[in-house]
């Protein structure tokens, strides 16, 4: 954490640092706090996407090229559907509440990116971890958006962090077709409703956090629109 915080602090003014990393308290290292932003996504949709993302042939070709001595996954692993994985009780698709270790790494703890590096942040679907994450969002993050609400997210970013996101919505729509194909996994077979429901039952607190972030985003958006209406003298 100290090395990462120091690295970010020493970047040129105006730099943007993007990484999959839990929140770091820069005050612990007597460093000025950067502007924190993040995005959230429906927890079950994240798991489905990750499941098929790690089975992507292109991704695995790169991995094995860089790690030629790594053991190869069996063909059955690549071909197994998410429906079957959940229904057969495969350990990879068992999201055990309060677990701290995974059979396969899956990033199921969305809240950990906001909770931070404390030990209390590790248990999956932990009510304590989620409450800490909520407090971090309220006190540390300028904007937490979601690509499920693209226009709202970009509007809030434009107004709350204009130095970096001025005209973001206009630019996004200009290049929407090319941007939508970035980092997209087109191999995402249908997942049955009962399977989604089975998985969702183990993500209760993660959903609480997800909805909390969306509500905060909506409140920021409504505040902006109210200010615009008042400026235009609309009742």
Q: What is the mean pLDDT of residues 144-165?
A: 94
**DSSP-derived secondary structure for 12-79:** PTT-----S-----GGGGT-----EEEE---HHHHHHHHHHHTT-HHHHHHHHHH-TTSPPPPHHHHH
Task: Give pairs for 93-97: CB < 8 Å, separation 24+.
Answer: 93/51, 93/199, 95/47, 95/124, 95/125, 95/199, 95/202, 95/203, 96/124, 96/202, 97/123, 97/124, 97/125, 97/126, 97/202
Lowest mean pLDDT among 33-37, 57-61, 78-82: 57-61
pLDDT of 155 strictly over 90? yes
Q: What angle do CA 128, 129, 133 make, to 5 degrees?
A: 120
Catalytic status, residue 20: yes
- Of 226 and 86, the one with more pLDDT: 86
Q: Which domains does the chain have, with CATH numbers?
A: 35-233 (3.40.50.300)
Q: What is the mean pLDDT of residues 8-22?
A: 95
Cβ-Cβ contacts under 8 Å for 211 (sequence gap 6 or more): none
What does the pLDDT read at residue 82?
96
What does the pLDDT read at residue 70?
84
pLDDT digits (tens, 9 = 90+) for 48-61: 999 998 888 777 78
Residues of the chain with pLDDT > 90, as a percent, come to 73
What does the pLDDT read at residue 65?
86
Neighbours of 118 (CB within 10 A): 14
Q: What is the mean pLDDT of residues 37-44?
A: 97
At 183, the pLDDT band (50, 70, 90 cuts) reads low
What does the pLDDT read at residue 199?
97
pLDDT digits (tens, 9 = 90+) for 186-218: 667 899 999 999 999 999 999 999 999 999 999
Q: What is the mean pLDDT of residues 25-37?
A: 96
Identified catalytic residue from 20, 159, 190, 205: 20
Dihedral, 149, 152, 154, 159 alpha carbons, nearest 10 = -160
Q: What is the pTM of this model?
A: 0.90
Q: What is the mean pLDDT of residues 9-15?
A: 94
What does the pLDDT read at residue 63?
81
pLDDT of 235 strictly over 60? no
């Amino acid at each position: 954490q100290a090395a990462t915080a120091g690295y970010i602090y020493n970047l040129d003014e105006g730099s943007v640092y993007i990484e999959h990393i839990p929140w770091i308290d820069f005050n612990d290292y007597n460093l000025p706090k950067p502007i924190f932003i993040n995005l959230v996504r429906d927890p079950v949709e994240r798991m489905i996407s990750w499941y098929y993302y790690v089975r992507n042939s292109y991704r695995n070709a790169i991995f094995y090229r860089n790690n030629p001595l790594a053991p190869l996954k069996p063909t059955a692993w690549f071909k197994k559907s998410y429906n079957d994985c959940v229904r057969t009780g495969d350990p990879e698709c068992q999201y055990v509440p309060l677990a701290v270790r995974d059979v396969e790494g899956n990033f199921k703890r969305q809240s950990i990116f906001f909770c931070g590096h404390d030990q209390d942040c590790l248990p999956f679907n932990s009510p304590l971890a989620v409450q800490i994450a909520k407090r971090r969002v309220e006190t540390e993050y300028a904007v937490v958006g979601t690509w499920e609400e693209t226009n709202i997210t970009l509007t809030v970013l434009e107004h709350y962090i204009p130095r970096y996101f001025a005209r973001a919505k206009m630019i996004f729509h200009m290049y929407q077709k090319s941007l939508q194909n970035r980092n997209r996994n087109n191999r995402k077979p249908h997942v049955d409703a009962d399977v989604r429901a089975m998985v969702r039952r183990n993500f209760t607190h993660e959903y609480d956090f997800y909805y909390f972030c969306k509500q905060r985003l909506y409140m920021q958006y409504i505040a902006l629109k109210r200010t615009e209406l008042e400026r235009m003298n609309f009742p």
